Amino acid sequence: MRKSMKSQSAGFTLIETLIAMAILFIGVLGLIQLQMASSLGNVTARNLTTGTNLARNKLESFRLVRAYYIPTIGATEIVVPDLVDPDSGNDLGDWANPDHQDGASIDENGNPGGIFTRAWNVVDDTPDPDIKTVRVRITWAMKDQTRNVDLEMQVSRKNLDYYQ
Q: Which of 79, 135, 71 is nearest to 102 (CA)?
A: 79
Q: Which of 59, 64, 73, 68 is nearest to 120 (CA)?
A: 59
- Planar angle of CA 74, 78, 84, nearest 5 degrees: 135
Relative to beta strand 77-79, strand 131-142 is unpaired
pLDDT value at residue 60: 85
Q: Which residues in the chain show pLDDT less than 50?
A: 1, 67-83, 159-164
What type of residue sits at position 154? Q
pLDDT value at residue 80: 46
pLDDT value at residue 109: 92
pLDDT value at residue 15: 94
Helices (H), the chain: 2-8, 14-63
What's the Cα-to-Cα distance from 63 to each of 49, 82, 95, 100, 129, rounded to whole Å? 21, 21, 22, 17, 18
